[in-house]
Amino acid sequence: MQVSTPTSTSKSNPAARRVLLCVGGGIAAYKAVELVRRLRDAGCDVRVAMTQNAQRFVGAVSFAAVSANPVRASLWDEDAEAAMGHIELARWAQQVLIAPATANILAKLAHGLADDLVSTLCLATTAPVTVAPAMNLRMWQHTATQANLETLRARGVQVIGPDDGAQACGEFGPGRMREPADIVERLFAAMPGTGPVDAAASTRDLQGRRIVITAGPTFEDLDPVRYLGNRSSGRMGFALAAAAARRGAQVQLIAGPVTLPTPPGVQRIDVRSAAQMHTAAQAALPADVFIGAAAVADFAPRTRAPDKLKKRDLGDGDALTVDLVRTPDVLADIAKSARRPTLVVGFAAETRADALEAYAREKLSSKGLDLIAANHVGASDSGFDSDSNNLTVYARDAEHALGRASKTHLAERLLDLVVQRLTTQAT
pLDDT tens sequence across 26-73: 999 999 999 999 999 888 899 999 999 999 999 999 999 999 999 998
Cis bond before residue 286 (omega within 30° of 0): yes
Asked if 98 contacts 51 with a C-beta cutoff of 8 angstroms, the reply is no
Mean pLDDT, residues 229-253 taken together: 91
Give the per-residue pLDDT at 422.
94
Model confidence at 415, pLDDT cuts 50, 70, 90, reads very high
pLDDT reported for residue 35: 94
| 3-class secondary-structure state, position 358 | helix
| Domains and their CATH numbers in the chain | 2-201 (3.40.50.1950), 210-305+319-426 (3.40.50.10300)
Continuous H helices in 155-285: 180-190, 199-202, 235-246, 274-284
Q: How far is CA 151 from the centre of its chain?
A: 21
Active site residues: 169
Tell me what pLDDT residue 197 has.
33
Alpha helices by DSSP H, 227-355: 235-246, 274-284, 330-335
Q: Within 13 A of 278's CA, how many CA atoms are on the CB side?
A: 15
pLDDT band at 316 (very low <50, low <70, confident <90, very high): low
CB atoms within 10 A of CB 91: 12
Mean of the pLDDT values across residues 231-235?
Answer: 88
Q: Whole-prediction pTM value?
A: 0.61
